[in-house]
Copies of this chain bind each other. A is one copy, B any other.
């Protein structure tokens, strides 16, 4: 039995690589997918495909439709969603992905620092599990095979 895990959330550090490395060390049967983590590529994908747009609004509209396409394809394949919220940025994409996952009955884990307990309280309350570190999320994943 193999599980596909979608790693939503912050793209400004290497938390995905750290998690994947530890999963490989423990030899657990998870495959990971994620949004485009190259921020510049993610912002430009609309113009990369469709050409120059009339303004930033339309550049963003073009990019976001392709990013959402990618996310939908991968999220529908996922058995589990893990979302990491960092202290910077508004990360509404992350909130959107985890809310969508919950609505699709995907079991979800939120990782967030202590400083975000209050603003994330309603979203945490809907997720299956909320933890503070990548290691704790890994412990929850590993518990499936415990």
Within A95-122, the residues touching B (CB, 8 Å) are 95-96, 98-100, 102-105, 107, 109, 117-122
Q: Are B105 and A99 in contact (CB under 8 A)?
A: no
A73 neighbours in B (Cβ, 8 Å): 3, 79-80, 107, 144
Q: Which residue of B lies closest to A38 (CB)?
A: B146
| C-alpha spacing A128/B70, complex, angstroms | 9
Q: Are A36 and B146 in contact (CB under 8 A)?
A: yes
A67 neighbours in B (Cβ, 8 Å): 122, 125
Q: A64 contacts which of B55, B90, B124, B144 (Cβ < 8 Å)? A: B124
Q: A121 contacts which of B61, B122, B143 (Cβ < 8 Å)? A: B61
